[in-house]
Amino acid sequence: MQKRAMQGNSLLKGRLRASAWGRFVFFFGVIVLSFVFGACSKFQPGIGYNKNYQPDQPIPFDHSVHAGQYQIKCQYCHNQVERSKHSNIPALSTCMNCHIQVKTDSPFIAKIREAYEKNTSIEWVRVHMLPDHVQFNHSAHVQKGVSCNTCHGAVDTMKTVYQFTDLSMGWCINCHRQPENKAPLNCTTCHQ
C-alpha cells in the first residue's frame, strides 16, 4: 500500500515537471498563494490548518480541574465516544449531575442551570473541525486503544482547550501507515 501511494506521488510530480510552462505556473502559484495565506493567518502552522486554535468559550469550562484535579474520566462526559463516530459534547443534564450540588453559587453554573431549566442550551465554539469531506470515527479509534491524548493532547492540563495537532491528512496518514497499526489506507476510509 505504502509503495503504491509513493508511486502515485512521484507520478504526480513527474507530470508537473513535464513542461516548462507547467513549472512556471506551479512556482508562481506557490509564491502568490503563500503570500496570500501568510498575510491572512495568525497562527496556522501549515496552510489552512488550525493547530493551536484556542477560542473563548461561553463558559470557561476548565478541563484541568475536571479531568486533571478531580480525575474525572473523559468518557464520563463524552459518553458516546465509545459507540459513535462523534464524541459528543455532554448534554446540560450531564453537567447538572454534579452541579446541582457543587459550586452552585458560580455565575457560570447559574447560566447552565438556567439554560437547563428553560430547556435551551449553551453554544460552545467548536475547536476540532475536519473539512466537510472527511469522516472520522471516534469509536473505531477508541476501540483500537488509541488514547484520547494522541490526538487531543494533554487535555487534563488545559485550562482552555486548544487544538493540539494540525489534524492534517498527512498527520492522519502517518499513523495509518505504521505497519503495526494495521489501519486501512483506502481513500474511502475517510472520504465517502
Partner 1 sequence: MSENHQDHDHNHDHDHSPEIEAQKREILSKRPKPTAGRDERYWNSLEQWGKDPEFQKLAEQEFLTSPLQEEDKADGWARREFLKLMGASLALGSAGCLRRPVQKIVPYAKQPEEITLGQALNYSSTWFDGSETFGLLVKTREGRPIKYEGHPQHAFSRGALSARAQAHLLSCYDPDRLQAPQHNLQKEGRANAETVSVTWGQLDEKVRAAVANGGVTLLTGQVASPTLRQMIKDFQTETRAQHIVWEPTNPESIALGQEASYGTKLVPSYRFDRAQVIVSVDADFLGTWLTPTAFNKQFAEGRRNVEGMSELVVFDSHYSLTGANADKRFKIKPSQQLTVVMGLLYEVVVKAGHSSFAANTEFKEALSAFENAGALLGFSDPKALEKVAQSLLKAKGQSLVVAGGTATQNQDALLLQVAVNALNSALGNDGYTVVYGQSQVALTGSHQALHQLVDDMMAGKVKTLLIHSVNPVYYLGDWFATALTKVETVIYTGSHMDETAIKADFVAPDHHSVETWGDSEALTGIYAIQQPTIQPMYDTRSILLGLSQWGKISSALGKAESDYEMVRIYWKDRLLSSLGFKGSFEDFWLDLLQKGSVGALKNERESVRTARVEKLYGAKPNKQEGFELLLYPTVQLGQGELSNIGWLQELPDPITKIVWDNYASISIATAEKLGLAEGDKVEVGMNDLRIKVPVHIQPGLHDDVVAMALGYGRTRAGRIGNGVGFNAYNLMTHTQGGCYFSGQSLSMKSAKEKYTLANVQGHHTMEGRAIVIEATLQEYLKDKSAGIHKHKIFSIWPHHRYDGHKWAMSVDLNVCTGCSACVVACQSENNIPIVGKKYVLQGREMHWIRIDRYYTGNPSEAETVFQPVMCQHCDNAPCETVCPVLATVHSNEGLNEMVYNRCVGTRYCVNNCPYKVRRYNWFNYRKTLEKSEALALNPEVTVRTRGVMEKCTFCVQRIKTAKDTAKQEGRALKDGEVKTACQQTCPTEAIVFGDVNDPKSRVAQLFKEDPRSYSLLEEFHAAPAVRYMTKIRNNSERVINAPHHQHHEEAKKGDHA
Interface positions with partner 1 (CB under 8 A): 1, 8, 11-12, 15, 36-37, 40-41, 44, 48, 50, 53, 55, 80, 83-86, 88-94, 115-116, 118-126, 129, 131-133, 135, 137, 139-140, 143, 184-188, 191-192
Least Å distance, CB 63 to partner 1, is: 15
> How far apart are CB 119 and partner 1 at their closest, in Å?
5
Inter-axis angle of helices 92-99 and 107-118, nearest 10? 130
In whole angstroms, the minimum distance from the beta carbon of 71 to partner 1 comes to 23
Minimum gap (Å) between residue 169 Cβ and partner 1: 9
Cell digits for 52? 493551536
Which residue number, 71 or 188, has a Cβ lying nearer to partner 1?
Answer: 188
In the numeric block, which cell numbers belong to residue 188? 474511502
Residues contacting residue 125 through CB under 8 Å, at least 6 positions apart:
55, 56, 57, 58
Residue (of 72, 87, 177) closest to 130 by Cα position: 87
Nearer to partner 1, 51 or 62 (CB): 51
Q: Do 96 and 86 contact (CB within 8 A), yes or no?
A: no
Q: Which is nearer to partner 1, 129 or 175 (CB)?
A: 129
The smaller minimum CB distance to partner 1, of residues 50 and 67, is found at: 50
Rg of the Cα trace of the chain?
21
